[in-house]
């Protein structure tokens, strides 16, 4: 069983963050995402996903035409979507 830590937020912390603008929050989140999900390589995770057979066949064929493996193309599409 995994035990999760509890985060306690002090009154001082709340006071200091009260004036934070939405643009600052967005910048912080974007920087955090880049730091943790940026260009550095991390171990891959095997997943299972159900895809209609005709969609998969068409995707594989189009990837072959573009001279890229279909799994690499899926990862590229995922990265592009996260970065947008």
Question: Number of structural domains, the chain?
Answer: 1
pLDDT over 90 percentage in the chain: 37
Q: What is the mean pLDDT of residues 2-9?
A: 78
| φ, ψ (nearest 5 deg) of residue 54 | -65, -35
pLDDT tens column, 9-45: 888 888 888 888 888 988 888 888 777 776 667 788 8
* Structural domain boundaries enclosing 78: 11-38+45-83
In a domain, 60, yes or no: yes
In a domain, 4, yes or no: no
Question: Are the CB atoms for 63 and 69 separated by under 8 Å?
Answer: yes
In a domain, 62, yes or no: yes
In a domain, 79, yes or no: yes
Q: Which helix (H) or strand (E) holds 17?
A: helix 11-17
């Amino acid at each position: 069983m995994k035990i999760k830590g509890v985060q306690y937020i002090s009154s001082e912390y709340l006071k200091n963050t009260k004036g934070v603008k939405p643009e600052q929050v967005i910048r912080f989140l974007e920087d955090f995402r880049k730091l943790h999900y940026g260009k550095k390589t991390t171990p891959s995770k095997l997943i299972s996903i159900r895809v209609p057979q005709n969609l998969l066949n068409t995707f594989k064929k189009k990837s072959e035409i573009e001279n890229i493996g279909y799994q690499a193309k899926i990862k590229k599409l995922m990265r592009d979507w996260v970065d947008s």
